[in-house]
Structure 1
Amino acid sequence: MDGIVIIGAGECGTRAAFALREAGYSAAVTMVGAEPHLPYERPPLSKPMNGAVQMKPICAKEALEAAGIDYLQGLSASKLDADAGSVTLGDGRMLRYEKLLLATGARPRRLNCVGAERALDFRTHADAETIFANVKAGRSVAIIGGGLIGMELAAVLRGKDVTVTVIEAAPRPLGRAVPQRFAEKLVARHAAEGVRFHLGRGVAAISDEGVTLTDGTVVPADLVVGAIGVLPETALAEAAGLATGNGILTDTCLRTSALNVFAAGDCATVAQPGGGHIRYESWRNARAQAETAARNMAGAAETFAAIPWFWSDQYDLGLQVAGLPQPAHQGVVRSVPEGEVEFYLDDGRLVAAAGLGLGNGLAKDIKLAEMLIAAGANPDPAALVDPGLNLKMLLKSARAA
C-alpha cells in the first residue's frame, strides 16, 4: 500500500488526515491508532457529565469513510524502515508509504519512587474512567504534580466533594506555563475551595496509606494520581535512526531527518528561525501543525509559524494564553468587568497576552490580542491599561501601519 500513512489517531493525526483531502490529495490515506476507539478529544476527559467520562469523537466513522481515510484502530507501529519506506504494525502487517506522518503524541512521565506503580495516569479515556470510577464524596485523592492537568483535575474532584491534596516538587504550582500573576490567583482559588498543597517537596514512596514525602510527611489518600507531565513519544523514530532531542527533530516545514517522513503535534520539536527547536503541547498546536504537515506532504512548502495558544478551565474560571510570556517582558495589566488581561511587550512590540476571568468572558480579548501579535503591533502601554480602549480599532490601526 502506497500513499500517505499517519501513525497516531489523536487530534493531530486525525486533523492531518482530513487536511490532506482538503489540500486535494487523492491517493490512499491510512491512519493507525493504538486505542480501540474512534479518534476522540482529550480535553473533555477531565469534565465528566452525570458521573460518566465523556467520549467526544473528533469525527464519526461515516466521516472517515466519506473522506476515504482507512482507519486501523487498536494497532501500534512496531518498526519504521525509513530507507525502504515501510512501517510494520503490531499485528505483523507491513504498510508501504509515499510519505509518512509521525503523530505519535506523548506519554505520561513516570514517577521514580517506591510504589510508583500505584499512581494512576491521567491521559487516555481508559485512565479517566479508572479515576472517576474510584472517587466519590468523602474519599481522598493525592495528585502528584501541580501543572495544568493536575490542577484541572483537582478542581473537578473538589466539585465532587472529594478531599484533594496537590503535591508539587517546585516552589509553586503552575510555574511552567502560566504567567505568575494568574498562577497565584488560581492557586488562591484552589486553596479557598479546600485544596491542600505540599510544595517544594518530592515523593519518597506511595503505599496503601497514601504518599510519603521526602521530608517524612505522610499524605493520606485513597487514590493517587501522577500528573508530572508528559514525554514525547519518540521510540519508533529513535529506533529508525531519526534525529531526536526532546521530541522528533523537524525543520520549519515539519520534515524530519528521514526522507519523506514528517512529524507533528506533541511528539515534534520544530526548528526556529533564530536557532534551536521548540516543542509545544496543546490542542491548538496539534491541529495547526497537522494542517501544515498535511499541506506540505501534499506538495506545498509552508513554514510552520502559528502563535502558541492554550486554555484551561478551573472551577468557573477560564485561563487563556496566546504567545509565550517571559519574565523579562514588560507586563501591562488591563482590568475589565470579566476579569484581567495582561499584555506582554518585548522592546515595545506585543508578543504575548494572557487572560483570567469568569468562564469564556475574555475569549474575544485574547483573540484580538493574538491578531495584534500576528500584526506585529507596537501599542502604547498606557493605552493598553485603559479598559475603554477598543482592541478592534487598535488592530485596524496596526494593520494599516
Structure 2
Amino acid sequence: MGTDAGIVIIGAGEAGARAAAALRENNYAGPVTLIGEERHLPYERPPLSKAAMTGADEPTAATIMSEEQLAAHGIRHLSGVMVTEIDRAGHLALLDDGSRIPYSRLLLATGARPRRLTTPGADAASVLYLRTFSDALAMRAYLKPGIRLVVIGGGFIGLEIAASALDRGCSVTVVEMAPRILGRAVPAEVAALVAEAHKAAGVRLITGIGLKGIEAGCVVLADATRLDCDAIIAGVGAIPETGLAGRAGLTIENGIRVDGRLQTDDPDIFAAGDCCAFPHPVFDGRRLRLEAWRNAQDQGNHAARAMLGETAEFDAIPWFWSDQHGQTLQIAGLPDEGDATVTRDLGGATLHFHLKAGRLVGASAFGPIGNVAREIRLAEMLIARRAQPSPDALADPSVKLKSVLAVVPLAA
C-alpha cells in the first residue's frame, strides 16, 4: 500500500467512535480522522428516548469521548462535516467543503436514518422522528403534562418514547399496524407482557390497524377512527445509510454488504454498526443487520482490529435491551431462529429459551432487571457455545444456568 495515509472513519456515532479509540488501544500510530455530520462530540444514543426525555434538567448529550480524550488519543475529529464521495482509486474522502482527506483504510460507520411515514399528510411538521440529540430536544419540548400524544409504531423506539412521554404527564396512544407490538423483535409471549405493562401504566395500545391519513391535530385510522392529538411521533423502523457506499460502487444488500471480517468489496474499506449487513457464523452464516448499541460497540472494536490485519470473523452474539416502565426487556441471540420454546420461572419474570433442532439460539425476558440481566447473560454464553442443553434443565429454576454452562465445551 506504500506510505500509510492513515485511517478515515466516516460516522462519529457509537461504532465510529469506538473504532477510533480501538485503533489506538491496538497500538496503531498512524493518522486517525473521525468525521461526523452532527456538530456534537460523539455521543450515546440510547439515552435519547429515555433520560433525555424524562430528566428534570435540560439534557446534555452523553458524550463517548471528550475533546480532551480525543486529543489524548491523537484522533482528529471533524464535526458538522459531510463526506460527499469516496474516490476509491485515489484513496480519498471528498468533503462538502471541497477538501479531500487521503486514507489507506476507511471505515463506513454511517448508521441509519428513521423510516418516514408515507401516509397522506405525514409530511406535516407536526410529525416528529427520533435519531439525533437535536431530535430529542425537539421532542422534549412537546412532551408536557396534559399533551395528547400519538406514537405511530409499536417497536422499541416507539414504546420507549411512549413510556417516557407518560412519565412526563402526557396522554399517550400507540398505534401499531401489525397484529401485536414488537412483532419482529420478540416472541408473542414476551410482547404480551410488555403490552400489559404499558396498559397498566396508562398507555392506550391500538394494534392491527393502519393509517388513513394525518390531519391538523388528528390521526385518522384505516377504519375512520379519529385520534385527536397535540403531537405525533413516528417510530416505524430505520433505513441504513448506504448512499455514500452505493455511489462508491460497493455492494448494498439490506445495508453495506461485508464479509465476516466486516470488509466490503474493496479490501481497503470496512463497515460497522447499523449500516452494514454481515454473515454470522453462529447462525450458519445468516446475514444480519443489527440496530443495537452493543453491536455498534462490538463491531467498532472488531473493525479496528480487522483494519490492522486481524483475520478473525465477527461472532459476537446479538444482545438487545430496552427499559420501559421500570422494567427491562432483554434479548440474546435470535429468537426467530427457534422452532421450540422452553420457559423458566425467574420469580417475577419468565425467561424464554428458543431452541432450533435442540440447539439454543435465543433467549428473551421482560421483568425487573435484577431477575433478568444475569440469566440472559448466561444464556448468551450458552448460545455462543452452540450448546444443546437439556430442556428439562432449562425449565427447572433449581438448576442453575451457571451449572449448565459449566458442562458445555467451548465452541470450536
CA-atom RMSD, angstroms? 1.6
Alignment of 1:98-113 (within 5 A): 98-113=104-119
Q: Which residue of 1 aligns with 2:252?
A: 244
The structural deviation recorded for 1:360 is: 4.2
Q: Which residue of 1 aligns with 2:374?
A: 364
Of 208, 212, 219, the residue aligned with 1:204 is 212
The structural deviation recorded for 1:25 is: 1.0
> Partners in 2 of 1:268 and 1:400 — Cα distance?
28
The ranges of structure 1 where at least 4 consecutive aligned residues each deviate by more than 6 angstroms after the TM superposition are: none
1:69 and 2:75 aligned: yes
> 1:142 touches 1:164 (CA, 8 Å); kept in 2?
yes
> 1:44 touches 1:54 (CA, 8 Å); kept in 2?
no
1:38 and 2:38 aligned: no
Q: Which residue of 1 aligns with 2:203?
A: 195
> Partners in 1 of 2:172 and 2:77 — Cα distance?
40
Of 363, 383, 392, the residue aligned with 2:402 is 392
> 2:294 touches 2:319 (CA, 8 Å); kept in 1?
yes
> 1:79 touches 1:240 (CA, 8 Å); kept in 2?
yes
> 1:318 touches 1:360 (CA, 8 Å); kept in 2?
no
Q: TM-score, normalised by structure 2?
A: 0.94
The structural deviation recorded for 1:161 is: 2.0
Provide Cα deviations, 1:226-262, integer angstroms capped at 9, x if missing partner: 1101000001011111110210011111111123010
Whichever residue aligns with residue 241 of structure 1, its letter is G
The verdict on how the C-alpha distance between 1:288 and 1:139 changes in structure 2, with shifts beyond 3 A counting, is same
Identity over aligned pairs, percent: 46
**Secondary structure at the residue paired with 2:309?**
coil
Whichever residue aligns with residue 293 of structure 2, its letter is W
> 2:360 touches 2:386 (CA, 8 Å); kept in 1?
yes
Whichever residue aligns with residue 237 of structure 2, its letter is G
The structural deviation recorded for 1:194 is: 1.8
1:114 and 2:120 aligned: yes
The structural deviation recorded for 1:124 is: 0.8
Q: Which residue of 1 aligns with 2:346?
A: 336
Provide Cα deviations, 1:35-77, integer angstroms capped at 9, x if missing partner: 1111111111122311533421111111111111100011111
Whichever residue aligns with residue 399 of structure 1, its letter is P
Provide Cα deviations, 1:320-365, integer angstroms capped at 9, x if missing partner: 1100012742211111224111111222222211121113431111
1:6 and 2:9 aligned: yes
1:156 and 2:179 aligned: no
> Partners in 1 of 2:110 and 2:263 — Cα distance?
15
Provide Cα deviations, 1:161-190, integer angstroms capped at 9, x if missing partner: 211111111111111112211101111111
The structural deviation recorded for 1:141 is: 0.6
Alignment of 1:2-401 (within 5 A): 2-47=5-50, 48-118=54-124, 119-273=127-281, 274=284, 277-326=287-336, 328-399=338-409
Unaligned runs of 5+ in 1: none
> Partners in 1 of 2:83 and 2:99 — Cα distance?
10
Whichever residue aligns with residue 215 of structure 1, its letter is D
**Secondary structure at the residue paired with 2:371?**
coil
> 1:20 touches 1:294 (CA, 8 Å); kept in 2?
yes
Whichever residue aligns with residue 88 of structure 1, its letter is L
> Partners in 1 of 2:132 and 2:66 — Cα distance?
19
**Secondary structure at the residue paired with 2:138?**
helix
Whichever residue aligns with residue 113 of structure 1, its letter is T
Q: TM-score, normalised by structure 1?
A: 0.96
**Secondary structure at the residue paired with 1:191?**
helix
> Partners in 2 of 1:328 and 1:289 — Cα distance?
25
Q: May I ask how many residue pairs the two structures share in their alignment?
A: 401
> 1:16 touches 1:294 (CA, 8 Å); kept in 2?
yes
The verdict on how the C-alpha distance between 1:236 and 1:400 changes in structure 2, with shifts beyond 3 A counting, is closer
> 2:258 touches 2:271 (CA, 8 Å); kept in 1?
yes
> 1:142 touches 1:223 (CA, 8 Å); kept in 2?
yes
**Secondary structure at the residue paired with 1:362?**
helix
The verdict on how the C-alpha distance between 1:159 and 1:211 changes in structure 2, with shifts beyond 3 A counting, is same
> 1:38 touches 1:60 (CA, 8 Å); kept in 2?
yes
> Partners in 2 of 1:178 and 1:373 — Cα distance?
17
Whichever residue aligns with residue 165 of structure 1, its letter is T
> 1:249 touches 1:271 (CA, 8 Å); kept in 2?
no
**Secondary structure at the residue paired with 2:335?**
coil
**Secondary structure at the residue paired with 1:321?**
strand
The structural deviation recorded for 1:78 is: 0.8
> Partners in 2 of 1:220 and 1:360 — Cα distance?
39
Whichever residue aligns with residue 234 of structure 1, its letter is T
